Amino acid sequence: MEVLRLFAFIAGPQGPASAVTAQERAFIVGFFETFFPRDVTAFFLARFEERRREQAAAEGASPRETTEAFAQRLNQRLDYPEKIFCLLTLYGFLASDRTQELPLRAVRSIAALLRIENRDLAFIEHHFGLAEAPARVLARSNILALNITGDPETADVYLPFPGLDLVVYKIQTTYCIHKKNDLYKVTAEGINLRHNFSTRISQHVGLHIEDHSLRYHDLLLHFRNKVRPLEASLYLAQRGVELRITPERPENALARVDIHGSHIILSVLNAEQGVITRNGQPVHTWRHLTLNDVVHCNGFRLDPRELFYSVSGNQEVALPEDAQDQDQEEPGLVVTNDIKGDIFIQDALPDKWTARLRKEAHGWRFVPLTCPYQAYVNGHARAGSLHLAPGQTLFIHNAFLTPQANGRTVRTRLFSFRHLVADRVTYRFGDGDPALDEISFSVDYGEMACIMGPSGCGKSTLLKALCGLLTPDSGTVKLDSFDLHRQFPRLRDYIGYVPQEDLLLPNLTVWENLYYHARLRFPELPRPEVEARLDAVLASIRLRDKKHQRVGALEDAMLSGGERKRLHIGLELLAGAAVYFLDEPTSGLSSSDSDNIMELLADIALSGKIVVAVIHQPSSRIYKSFDKACILDHGGRLAFFGPPSRALEYFQHHDVPLEEGLLGEVECPHCKRVQPESLLQVMEESLRDIDGALLGERKYSPLYWKRRFRRTVVSSWVRSVQLPMQHELPPARVPSSAERWTQFLTLAGRTFRHKMRDRANLGITFLAAPLLALGAGFIMKYTPGAEYSLYTNDLFPSFLFVAVISTLFLSLTNSVDEVIGDGALFLRERMLHIPRRLYLTAKLLVLMCFAVLQNVLFVLSSFLMLEVRELYWEYVVALTCLSLCGVSLGLCISSVPKLSSRAALNTAPLALIPQIILGGALIEYERMNRDLRFSDSSPIPEICQIMPSRWAYEGLVVLQETRNSYDTTHDAMAAAFKAFKYKRETLIQTRGEAWYAAHEAQMQQDLDSFRQSRKHRHGNKNIHDAVSLGEQRRKDLDADGRADAAQPLFVRAKPVPGLLAWLPGLAERQIPTPIYNMLVLLFFSLVLHLASLGLLHWREALLTGRWRPTRLLRWRR
Q: Is 358 helix (H, G, I), strand (E, B) or coil?
A: strand
- CA dist., res. 501 & res. 962, Å (int): 55
769: pLDDT strictly greater than 90 = yes
pLDDT tens sequence across 425-454:
999 887 778 889 989 888 888 889 999 998
pLDDT tens sequence across 857-905:
999 999 999 988 888 999 999 999 999 999 999 999 999 988 888 888 8
DSSP state of 17: G
Q: Which residues contact 713 (CB under 8 A, 6 or more apart)?
A: 641
How many residues make up the chain in this entry?
Answer: 1117
What confidence score (pLDDT) does residue 920 get?
87
What confidence score (pLDDT) does residue 512 get?
92
**pLDDT tier for residue 52 given thresholds of 50, 70 and 90:** low
Amino acid identity for residue 598 in this structure: M
741: pLDDT strictly greater than 60 = yes
DSSP state of 669: T
What confidence score (pLDDT) does residue 196 get?
72
pLDDT tens sequence across 662-671:
445 666 766 6
What confidence score (pLDDT) does residue 186 get?
87
Q: For the chain, what is the mean pLDDT?
A: 81
More confident residue, 1086 or 86: 1086
User: What is the separation of C-alpha 980 from the centre of its chain, rounded to a whole number of angstroms?
Assistant: 75
What confidence score (pLDDT) does residue 328 get?
47
If you average pLDDT over each of 49-63, 85-99, 237-251, which comes out highest? 237-251
What confidence score (pLDDT) does residue 14 get?
41
What confidence score (pLDDT) does residue 912 get?
92
- CA dist., res. 303 & res. 409, Å (int): 29
What confidence score (pLDDT) does residue 790 get?
86
State the sign of the Cα–Cα–Cα–Cα dihedral 147, 148, 154, 156. positive
What percentage of the chain exceeds 70 in pLDDT?
A: 84
| 4-13, 746-755, 952-961, range with the lowest pLDDT | 4-13
pLDDT tens sequence across 846-860:
999 999 999 999 999
The mean pLDDT of 913-931, rounded to a whole number, is 87
What confidence score (pLDDT) does residue 312 get?
85
100, 463, 665, 713, 918 from 888: Cα distances, Å? 79, 35, 64, 55, 20
What confidence score (pLDDT) does residue 673 get?
80
- The answer to whether the CB of 955 falls within 8 A of the CB of 1054 is no
The mean pLDDT of 41-47, rounded to a whole number, is 54
906: pLDDT strictly greater than 80 = yes
What confidence score (pLDDT) does residue 913 get?
92
Q: Which residues contact 668 (CB under 8 A, 6 or more apart)?
A: 674
Q: Does 419-643+705-716 match 228-312 at the fold level?
A: no
54: pLDDT strictly greater than 60 = no
**pLDDT tier for residue 1045 given thresholds of 50, 70 and 90:** low
pLDDT tens sequence across 805-836:
999 999 999 999 888 888 777 767 767 778 88
Question: How does DSSP assign 168-233, residue by residue?
Answer: EEEETTEEEEEE---SS-EEETTEE--TT-EEEE-TT--EEETTEEE-HHHHHHHHHHHHS--EEE
Amino acid identity for residue 706 in this structure: K
SS3 content of the chain, % helix, strand, coil (to 5): 50, 20, 35
What confidence score (pLDDT) does residue 101 get?
54
What confidence score (pLDDT) does residue 60 get?
47
pLDDT tens sequence across 615-644:
988 888 888 888 889 999 999 999 998 888
The mean pLDDT of 397-405, rounded to a whole number, is 87
The mean pLDDT of 306-329, rounded to a whole number, is 72
What confidence score (pLDDT) does residue 96 get?
61
CATH tag, 228-312? 2.60.200
**pLDDT tier for residue 713 given thresholds of 50, 70 and 90:** low
More confident residue, 1102 or 1044: 1102
| 103-112, 149-158, 169-178, 846-855, range with the lowest pLDDT | 103-112
What confidence score (pLDDT) does residue 18 get?
41
What confidence score (pLDDT) does residue 426 get?
92
What confidence score (pLDDT) does residue 580 get?
92
What confidence score (pLDDT) does residue 444 get?
83
Q: Which fold has domain 319-414?
A: Tumour Suppressor Smad4 (2.60.200)
- The answer to whether the CB of 554 falls within 8 A of the CB of 574 is no
DSSP state of 939: S
Q: Is 547 helix (H, G, I), strand (E, B) or coil?
A: coil
Question: Taking each helix axis from N to C terminus, what angle separates 591-606 and 561-573, rounded to the nearest 10 degrees?
Answer: 10
Three-state SS sequence of 394-438: EEECCEEEEECCCCCEEEEEECCCCEEEEEEEEEECCCCCEEEEE
CA angle 414, 419, 420 (to 5 degrees): 125
CA angle 391, 392, 396 (to 5 degrees): 130
Kindly report the backbone phi and psi dihedral angles of residue 1049, in degrees, each rounded to the nearest multiple of 5, phi listed first: -75, 145
- The answer to whether the CB of 367 falls within 8 A of the CB of 356 is yes
What confidence score (pLDDT) does residue 778 get?
92
566: pLDDT strictly greater than 70 = yes
17: pLDDT strictly greater than 80 = no
495: pLDDT strictly greater than 70 = yes
Query: Would you list the domain boundaries of the chain?
Result: 2-141, 228-312, 319-414, 419-643+705-716, 740-960, 962-1073
What confidence score (pLDDT) does residue 506 get?
87
What confidence score (pLDDT) does residue 327 get?
45
40: pLDDT strictly greater than 70 = no
Q: Which residues contact 623 (CB under 8 A, 6 or more apart)?
A: 450, 615, 629, 644, 674, 676
**pLDDT tier for residue 1063 given thresholds of 50, 70 and 90:** low
Q: Global pTM?
A: 0.77
421, 480, 1040 from 417: Cα distances, Å? 11, 6, 78
Residue 300 is inside which H or E element, if any? strand 300-302
What confidence score (pLDDT) does residue 62 get?
47
CB atoms within 10 A of CB 616: 18
CATH tag, 419-643+705-716? 3.40.50.300
**1020-1050 as b/e, with b when 16 or more CB fall inside 10 Å?**
bbbbbebbeebeebbeebeeeeeeebbbbbb
- The answer to whether the CB of 699 falls within 8 A of the CB of 686 is yes
What confidence score (pLDDT) does residue 279 get?
85
What confidence score (pLDDT) does residue 859 get?
94
pLDDT tens sequence across 387-396:
888 888 999 9
If you average pLDDT over each of 375-384, 572-581, 740-749, which comes out highest? 740-749
**pLDDT tier for residue 546 given thresholds of 50, 70 and 90:** confident
What confidence score (pLDDT) does residue 599 get?
83
**pLDDT tier for residue 324 given thresholds of 50, 70 and 90:** very low
What percentage of the chain exceeds 90 in pLDDT?
A: 19
More confident residue, 662 or 487: 487
- CA dist., res. 631 & res. 757, Å (int): 44
- CA dist., res. 642 & res. 443, Å (int): 10
The mean pLDDT of 80-86, rounded to a whole number, is 80
pLDDT tens sequence across 942-1001:
889 899 999 999 999 999 988 888 777 777 888 888 888 888 888 888 888 888 888 888
Question: How does DSSP assign 82-135, residue by residue?
Answer: HHHHHHHHHHHHHHT-TT--HHHHHHHHHHHHTT--HHHHHHHHHHTTSS---H
User: What is the separation of C-alpha 964 from the centre of its chain, rounded to a whole number of angstroms?
Assistant: 52
Question: How does DSSP assign 787-800, residue by residue?
Answer: S--STT-TTHHHHH
Amino acid identity for residue 478 in this structure: K
1115: pLDDT strictly greater than 60 = no
1116: pLDDT strictly greater than 70 = no
Amino acid identity for residue 97 in this structure: D
State the sign of the Cα–Cα–Cα–Cα dihedral 104, 110, 112, 117. negative
What confidence score (pLDDT) does residue 874 get?
93
What confidence score (pLDDT) does residue 200 get?
75
What confidence score (pLDDT) does residue 115 get?
83
What confidence score (pLDDT) does residue 861 get?
94
